Amino acid sequence: MVFTPYGLLSWSETGVAGLRLDKDGGTWIETTLPQASESRIERVGKLKLSDTGDLEGKLTVTYIGLEAMYHRVQERNADEVARKKFLEELVTEQIAVGAEAELTNKPEWTSSETPLVAEYNLKIPGWASSAGRRVMIPAAVFTAAEKGVFEHANRVQPIYFEYPYQKADDITVELPLGWQVSSVPPPQDRNGKVVAYSLKVEQRPGALRLTRKLTIDVLLVEQKYYTVLRNFFQAVRNGDGVQVVLQPGEIHASN
Amino acid sequence: MRVTKLITRRITSLATYGRALLVVLWFAVSVVTIAPRAAASNAPDWMRALVGVTLPSYDEKTDAVLLYSETNVTVLSVDKIRKRVRDAYKVLRPEGRERGTVSVYFNPGRKITSLHAWCIPAQGKDYEVKEKDAFDFAAPFEGGELVSDVRYRILRVPAPDPGNIVGYEYEVEEQPFFLQEVWYFQEADPVRESHFSLQLPIGWGYKASWLSYPEVKAAEGGGNVSQWVVSDVKGIRHEPEMPPVRGVAGQMIVSFFPAGGSLRKNEIANWQGMGNWYGNLVSGQMDASEPIKQQITGLTAGRTTQLQKIQAIAGFVQHDIRYVAIELGIGGLQPHPASDVFLHRYGDCKDKATLMRTMLREIGVDSYHVIINTQRGSVTRDTPANPGFDHAILAIKLPDEVKDRSLIAVIQHPRLGRILFFDPTNELTPFGEIGGYLQANYGLLVTPDGGDLVELPQQPSAMNSIQRVGKLTLDGNGMLQGDVKEVRLGDRAWSERWRLRTVTNNADRIKPIESLLAGSLSSFRIVRASLVNLDHTDQPFGFDYTFQSDNYAKSAGNLLLVRPRVLGSKSWSVLETKEPRKFPIEFEGPSRDTDSFDIALPPGYEVDELPTPMDVEFSFGSYHSKTEASGQMLHYTRALEIKELSVPVSKMDELKKFYRMIAADERNTAVLKPVGAGK
Question: Is residue A81 within 8 angstroms of chain B, CB to CB?
Answer: yes
Answer yes or no: is pLDDT of B8 > 80.
Answer: no
Please report which confidence band the pLDDT of residue B221 belongs to, taking 50, 70 and 90 as the band edges: confident
Please report, rounded to a whole number, the percentage of residues in chain B having pLDDT higher than 70: 93
Q: In a mutagenesis test of the A interface, which of B549, B570, B634, B667 is the best target, namely the one with the most A β-carbons within 10 Å?
A: B667
Kind and range of the H or E run holding B282: helix B271-283
Answer yes or no: is pLDDT of B97 > 80.
Answer: yes
Q: What is the C-alpha separation between B442 and B381, in angstroms, rounded?
A: 7
Residue B557 to residue A183, Cβ atoms within 8 A: yes
Q: What is the C-alpha separation between B34 and B490, in angstroms, rounded?
A: 48
Answer yes or no: is pLDDT of B6 > 50.
Answer: no
Q: What is the C-alpha separation between A229 and B284, in angstroms, rounded?
A: 63
Please report which confidence band the pLDDT of residue A130 belongs to, taking 50, 70 and 90 as the band edges: confident
Which residues are within 8 A (CB) of B506 and not within 5 positions of it... i.e. 6 or more apart?
A: none
pTM: 0.89
B interface with A, Cβ–Cβ < 8 A, is: 60-61, 93-95, 162, 507, 511, 514-515, 517-519, 522-526, 550-551, 554-557, 559, 561, 571, 573, 576, 578, 608-612, 660, 663-664, 667-671
Question: Is residue A132 within 8 angstroms of chain B, CB to CB?
Answer: yes
Residue B663 to residue A98, Cβ atoms within 8 A: yes
Mean pLDDT in residue range B208-220: 96
User: Which residues in chain B are closer than 8 Å to A180, comparing Cβ atoms?
Assistant: none
ipTM: 0.89
Answer yes or no: is pLDDT of A254 > 70.
Answer: no
Which DSSP symbol is given to A219? Answer: S
Computed on alpha carbons and rounded to an integer, the radius of gyration of chain A in Å comes to 21
Option in B507, B555, B660 nearest A125 (CB): B660
Residue A234 to residue B522, Cβ atoms within 8 A: yes
Answer yes or no: is pLDDT of B84 > 70.
Answer: yes
**Mean pLDDT over each residue of chain B, to the nearest integer:** 91
Residue B561 to residue A243, Cβ atoms within 8 A: yes
Please report which confidence band the pLDDT of residue B679 belongs to, taking 50, 70 and 90 as the band edges: low
Please name which of B327, B385, B17 lies closest in space to residue B179, comparing C-alpha atoms.
B385
Residue B663 to residue A81, Cβ atoms within 8 A: no
Mean pLDDT in residue range B374-396: 94
The whole-number pLDDT of residue B27 equals 38
Question: Is residue A130 within 8 angstroms of chain B, CB to CB?
Answer: yes
The whole-number pLDDT of residue B448 equals 94
Residue B523 to residue A242, Cβ atoms within 8 A: no
Which residue of A lies nearest to B507 if distances are taken between CA atoms? A154
Residue A82 to residue B95, Cβ atoms within 8 A: yes
- Cα angle B643, B2, B250; round to 5: 80
The whole-number pLDDT of residue B19 equals 36
The whole-number pLDDT of residue B265 equals 66
- Distance from the Cα of B574 to chain A's closest Cα (Å) equals 9
Please name which of B210, B158, B160 lies closest in space to residue B185, comparing C-alpha atoms.
B210
User: Which residues in chain B are closer than 8 Å to A154, comparing Cβ atoms?
Assistant: 507
Residue A98 to residue B551, Cβ atoms within 8 A: no
Please state the φ and ψ torsions of residue B577, each to the nearest 5 degrees: -125, 160
Please report which confidence band the pLDDT of residue B141 belongs to, taking 50, 70 and 90 as the band edges: confident
User: In this predicted structure, which of B110-114, B400-404, B493-497 has the lowest mean pLDDT?
Assistant: B400-404
Mean pLDDT in residue range B290-314: 97
Residue A97 to residue B608, Cβ atoms within 8 A: no
Which residues are within 8 A (CB) of B508 and not within 5 positions of it... i.e. 6 or more apart?
A: none
Please report which confidence band the pLDDT of residue B7 belongs to, taking 50, 70 and 90 as the band edges: very low
The whole-number pLDDT of residue B319 equals 95
The whole-number pLDDT of residue B416 equals 96
Mean pLDDT in residue range B264-269: 74
SS3 B530: strand
Residues 148-187 of chain A with CB under 8 A from chain B are 148, 151-154, 182-183, 185-186
Please report which confidence band the pLDDT of residue A19 belongs to, taking 50, 70 and 90 as the band edges: very high
Please report which confidence band the pLDDT of residue B28 belongs to, taking 50, 70 and 90 as the band edges: very low
User: In this predicted structure, which of A61-70, A237-246, B327-336 has the lowest mean pLDDT?
Assistant: B327-336
- Distance from the Cα of A126 to chain B's closest Cα (Å) equals 6
Please report which confidence band the pLDDT of residue A60 belongs to, taking 50, 70 and 90 as the band edges: very high
Please report, rounded to a whole number, the percentage of residues in chain A having pLDDT higher than 90: 82
Strands B410-413 and B465-474, how do they pair? Answer: unpaired
Residue B667 to residue A182, Cβ atoms within 8 A: no
Answer yes or no: is pLDDT of A95 > 70.
Answer: yes
Q: What is the C-alpha separation between A7 and A5, in angstroms, rounded?
A: 6
Please name which of B624, B598, B599 lies closest in space to residue B612, comparing C-alpha atoms.
B624
Answer yes or no: is pLDDT of B35 > 80.
Answer: no
User: Which residues in chain B are closer than 8 Å to A245, comparing Cβ atoms?
Assistant: 556-557, 559, 561, 671
Option in A131, A185, A240 nearest B609 (CB): A131
Please report which confidence band the pLDDT of residue A15 belongs to, taking 50, 70 and 90 as the band edges: confident
User: Which residues in chain A are closer than 8 Å to B559, comparing Cβ atoms?
Assistant: 183, 245
Option in B523, B555, B561 nearest A234 (CB): B523
Q: What is the C-alpha separation between B543 and A131, in angstroms, rounded?
A: 31
Answer yes or no: is pLDDT of B223 > 50.
Answer: yes
Which residue of B lies nearest to A124 if distances are taken between CA atoms? B576
User: In this predicted structure, which of B146-150, B294-298, B487-491, B598-602 has the lowest mean pLDDT?
Assistant: B146-150
Q: What is the C-alpha separation between A161 and A155, in angstroms, rounded?
A: 15
The whole-number pLDDT of residue B390 equals 93
Query: Taking the C-alpha atoms of B16, B18, B21 and B27 in order, what is their torsion angle to the nearest 10 degrees?
Result: 120
Q: What is the C-alpha separation between B199 and B223, in angstroms, rounded?
A: 7
The whole-number pLDDT of residue B457 equals 97
Q: Encode pLDDT of B508-546 as tens digits.
A: 999 999 999 999 999 999 999 999 999 999 999 999 999
User: Which residues in chain B are closer than 8 Å to A231, comparing Cβ atoms?
Assistant: 523
User: In this predicted structure, which of A2-16, A102-116, A224-238 has the lowest mean pLDDT?
Assistant: A2-16
User: Which residues in chain A are closer than 8 Å to B550, comparing Cβ atoms?
Assistant: 238
User: Which residues in chain A are closer than 8 Å to B668, comparing Cβ atoms?
Assistant: 129-131
CA dist list (Å): A191 to A7, A146, A153, A215, A235? 27, 16, 22, 9, 11
Q: Encode pLDDT of A198-223 as tens digits.
A: 999 999 999 999 999 999 999 999 99
Q: Are A213 and A187 in contact (CB under 8 A)?
A: no
Residue A129 to residue B522, Cβ atoms within 8 A: no
Q: Kindly report the three-state secondary structure assignment for every residue of A17-34.
A: EEEEEECCEEEEEECCCC
The whole-number pLDDT of residue B33 equals 42
The whole-number pLDDT of residue B37 equals 58
Q: What is the C-alpha separation between B95 and A192, in angstroms, rounded?
A: 44
Which residue of A lies nearest to B518 if distances are taken between CA atoms? A151
The whole-number pLDDT of residue A127 equals 93
Residue B94 to residue A77, Cβ atoms within 8 A: yes
Answer yes or no: is pLDDT of B163 > 60.
Answer: yes
Option in A78, A131, A147 nearest B669 (CB): A131
Strands B465-474 and B591-600, how do they pair? Answer: parallel
Please report which confidence band the pLDDT of residue B263 belongs to, taking 50, 70 and 90 as the band edges: low
The whole-number pLDDT of residue A3 equals 86
Residue A134 to residue B609, Cβ atoms within 8 A: yes
